Structure 1
Amino acid sequence: MELPSKKCSRLWRLVLIFTLLFLLAILQRPRYTGNRSQNLQQSNNFVTTTSLLNYTDMKTNRKTLSSAYSTSAEELINVRVELESRKKLLENVCANIQDDTGSIEKAISKMIINENHGISWCPIYKAASSTWMKHFVTLAGLLSGTIMDLIRENSMQMNSIVRQAYITNTNSKTILKKMNKTKKFLIVRHPFERLLSAYRDKLEYMEGREYYYERFGYHIRQSYRKDKRDDSWGKQEPTFEEFLQFVAEERQFDEHWMPYYNACRPCGINYEYILKFETLQRDQNFFIQENGLANWLSTVENVENTNPRGPTTSVIVKKYFKNIHKSVLENIYKIYEMDFKLFSYSPEKYYMISIGDIHKNESIS
């Protein structure tokens, strides 16, 4: 009789345990008021919203950036044809030019190479260099609010950040090996307008540009200001024409006005993309889209012009070049002749508005 009793006792204990668990389960169930299906939907919406909010924001931001650089199929074809035409012209002009190895190695050492994104850039200052310095800092994952604040306060230079982020190996063979795994590009600009932009930014006013005044400005003023009756005699800084005379006669180049041919050796380095400042937004959008960078880079429109004197517009160009003697421009052309020929630029419209041209035209476009 004891054995059945023990079995019954264990059975009752199991029944009691299951009953308690069932009651606990009922007590812990969510209590809904009103329409049950509506309450369930609200609960699900809350969970979905809170758990996926960051993902949704990130996805939206990426779509926004990508669409900012989107280009229609027809325009893609047109831009590609034009870029191929630029490259073909470059190859034709370079056909009879033998570039020396030393100069090519020097240019290679200045390349900014991002292996992760497969692009390399030869910086040409005063030709969208600030924009692309920012882009390369972004691609390195270093652009932050703190960094941007320091740059705005002039406590840090974007150029310095890029050079630190993309420290180049001193071995030219190693650099070349890395570079050849990427798509190489450069951005060029009309040589005359680049010179004007460099002058306005670095030499027109001494305040905040003391380094350039001490290095170049004082010497230019002392050497090329001949007429004391000139209205500019009381001005400490050199005039634009004095600056051009200095460049033409002494051929002392800073990185902001060094010829493209010297800086980037386009006849010795195979650049897959030649972008132009004059069609920058279109060319740049094409390059960014074709190389899968749209999700990584902020839009071009958000990048402010870093020249404190403002952008060099066609009105500004006319204002300065109408006071330049044509003979000075002709001498400058000789210095930058390779840049004009390699990248299909013409000096003619600037000659037309300069002093001493009998066919002077009052408009520039």
Structure 2
Amino acid sequence: MELSLTKPGKMAKTRLFRISLILGSVFMILLIIIYWDDVGASHFYLHTTISGPHSSRLPPESNAASKNKVKEDKEGSFLADIDAFVNQFLEGTADPTEQVKAETPPGETHNQSSEKPEERFVPRREWKIHLTPIATEKKQRQDDRKQLIHDLCSSNSSFDFPGKNRTFDDIPNKELDHLIVDDRHGIIYCYVPKVACTNWKRIMIVLSESLLVNGAPYQDPLDIPGELIHNSTVHFTFNKFWKRYGKFSRHLMKIKLKKYTKFLFIRDPFVRLISAYRNKFELENEDFYKKFAVTMLKKYSNYVDPPASVVNAFAAGIRPTFSNFIQYLLDPNTEKEMPFNEHWRQMHRLCHPCQINYDFVGKLETLDEDAEHLLRILRVDNVVQFPPSHHNRTVSSWEQDWFADIPYESRRQLYKLYEADFRLFGYPKPENLLHD
């Protein structure tokens, strides 16, 4: 009889202990989150080892650890990330000087053929020490661009456009898929298609070490295979937070937006449209042909039954004209059926400048100077350099010819459709295109 009373008592105590343990764990997680939100300048990043300037040129032991850590991040849960953060806090800050000493001196090479992939050692470039300050005009250029956005997004501004007054919490997760996060360096990049985004994605892959070749991260952005650059699985975006962090997602996004350096690149809205048309409809692109070109041909070119494939269409000399493309954009039914494709969706709808306070606003028109300036600000110009830009890209001087067959009323409607991009990002109204 005494035994039967003792056993239930032990079970009750065990159950109470488990409940207490679970509640205690939840409390500690919330406490860590609250504390993390307040550490500010300490720059504690999830998924990283706290150190000085990071680099992909690390000794093989570090590369292996980085590889394992990336794998664990992808497979882990929110609790695993909290554990990683606690370990960082307990371990303290690494000495960047020791990290440099462990590297191969500049110019020394290795016989890679005799090494196993996991033992491959990739030397880092020499540290760049900038003795001269960044030019005042470059700093002023950034101040002016950011101030213009701030002024037009202010509630005191008379300029209004859809989405201006919503909060960050009002933005659906699916509209945050252009914000790429690099936790190793504390960087957030909002990519805009047709604005050098291929090369900036290359840069982000190199910095985040999210892609390996022969067991080591890519060092040169131009070595990354083209078919992988735009692969969504390679980049960790805000849209993926909810899968990993669940209800903590928005809180973590706000922390990173507050602590990380955020940048985007933009270009003249009309020139961007010309570039999108040239790339997606003047070249054989099966996907864009079936999704968009067939619709344009049926609606605006009187082709009742367009060819089924882009190869057959181009062989027959059939393709939508630039005028058809503009008609498609101005058709009110277009966005009723589906949102604009990212290649012609308004830039402010991709990057939400009224809800996100960007630290750097680059322009394609000043790409080379802005890229150099930004990499210095990010302190990663010792790790990676921006690939050379193409000089044959679409330019604003072509606008007059491209819009020659577009009626003036359609041009005015098109400007109205993209007016927020023109004004927010400081592009002058193209008066020569809008008046008879």
In structure 2, which of residues 142, 148, 152 is the aligned counterpart of residue 93 of structure 1?
Answer: 152
Structure 2 distance, partners of 1:163, 1:56, is: 31
Residue matched to 2:292: 216
Indicate the percent of aligned positions where both proteins have the same amino acid: 26
1:163 pairs with 2:230:
no
1:158 Cα deviation after fit? 3.6
Residue matched to 2:281: 203
Structure 1 distance, partners of 2:318, 2:131, is: 48
TM-score norm. by structure 2 comes to 0.58
TM-score norm. by structure 1 comes to 0.68
Residue matched to 2:323: 241
Structure 1 distance, partners of 2:288, 2:341, is: 10
Structure 2 distance, partners of 1:66, 1:300, is: 18
Residue identity matched to 1:218: V
In structure 2, which of residues 267, 270, 275 is the aligned counterpart of residue 189 of structure 1?
Answer: 267
**RMSD of equivalent CA atoms:** 3.4
Larger Rg: 1
In structure 2, which of residues 394, 414, 433 is the aligned counterpart of residue 332 of structure 1?
Answer: 414
Unmatched 5+ stretches in structure 1: 1-51, 359-365
In structure 1, which of residues 133, 151, 171 is the aligned counterpart of residue 201 of structure 2?
Answer: 133
The answer to whether the 8 A contact 2:271-2:396 is kept is no
Going from structure 1 to structure 2, the CA distance change for 1:334 and 1:349 (only over 3 Å counts) comes to closer
Residue matched to 2:356: 269
In structure 1, which of residues 124, 144, 147 is the aligned counterpart of residue 192 of structure 2?
Answer: 124
1:330 Cα deviation after fit? 1.3
Structure 2 distance, partners of 1:150, 1:115, is: 20
Residue identity matched to 1:323: D
SS in 2 for 1:180: helix
Larger RCO: Structure 1 or Structure 2 (Cα < 8 Å, ≥ 6 residues apart)? 1
Higher helix proportion: 1
Going from structure 1 to structure 2, the CA distance change for 1:114 and 1:60 (only over 3 Å counts) comes to closer
Structure 2 distance, partners of 1:350, 1:343, is: 19
In structure 2, which of residues 368, 379, 382 is the aligned counterpart of residue 292 of structure 1?
Answer: 379
1:163 Cα deviation after fit? 2.3
Residue identity matched to 2:277: Y
Shifted more, 180-189 versus 234-243: the winner is 234-243
Aligned residues: 286
SS in 2 for 1:136: helix
Deviations 1:115-143 (A, max 9, x none): 22121111111111101100011102256
Structure 1 distance, partners of 2:318, 2:135, is: 49
The answer to whether the 8 A contact 1:108-1:176 is kept is no
Residue identity matched to 2:261: K
Correspondences of 1:24-35 after superposition (within 5 Å): none
